[in-house]
Amino acid sequence: MVEGGVLVAADRELDTILGKLKNCWAVRQTIIVEGAIFEVGDFTLRIANLLLGQAYKGLLLEIEYGPATAPNSALGPIQNFLQAITPSTAQLSYETTYDYRSVGLSDTDFSAAHTGYQYMSFLKREGLL
């Protein structure tokens, strides 16, 4: 997602192009995400430590509900699963509604671009972008 709310999808060749252009700009900060993936019934749970440079910024949880195909259709089951796996004292920060149409994404069919938009929204909201 770039300024103005435009979501861009690219093939792997973009990495090659960016590698050749890397001297045109300087890296301001590096976000490192390291973790593991678990499958529990219909859920896929991705857990990762989020580091900005060497500073720990928190634990990132991504929960995917397999039977759901439409954005926001799995909100209830995901919230129930989240409550079941997190301690009551956990400080959670999450967003449950997204304006997918504002970036040209479907409201009816979920794709990897939707996940990318959610990550970008999260990182911006937390001040990491």
Q: Is residue 80 part of a domain?
A: yes
pLDDT in tens, the chain (129 residues): 455 566 667 777 877 877 777 777 776 778 889 999 999 999 999 999 999 888 998 888 999 999 987 777 888 899 899 989 989 898 887 887 888 888 888 888 888 888 888 888 888 888 877
Q: Is residue 35 part of a domain?
A: no
62/82 Cα distance (integer angstroms): 10
Q: What is the pLDDT of residue 7?
A: 63
pTM for this one?
0.72
Q: Is residue 98 part of a domain?
A: yes
Q: Is residue 40 part of a domain?
A: no
Q: What is the pLDDT of residue 1?
A: 45
Q: What is the pLDDT of residue 47?
A: 94
Q: Is residue 34 part of a domain?
A: no
Q: Is residue 117 part of a domain?
A: yes
Domain, as residue range, for 120: 13-28+60-125
Tally of structural domains, the chain: 1
Q: Which residues contact 30 (CB under 8 A, 6 or more apart)?
A: 52, 53
Q: Is residue 78 part of a domain?
A: yes
Please name which of 31, 35, 15, 7 lies closest in space to residue 116, comparing C-alpha atoms.
7
Q: Is residue 44 part of a domain?
A: no
Cα torsion angle, 84, 39, 10, 26, sign = positive
Q: What is the pLDDT of residue 90?
A: 87
- Cβ atoms 1, 118 nearer than 8 A: no
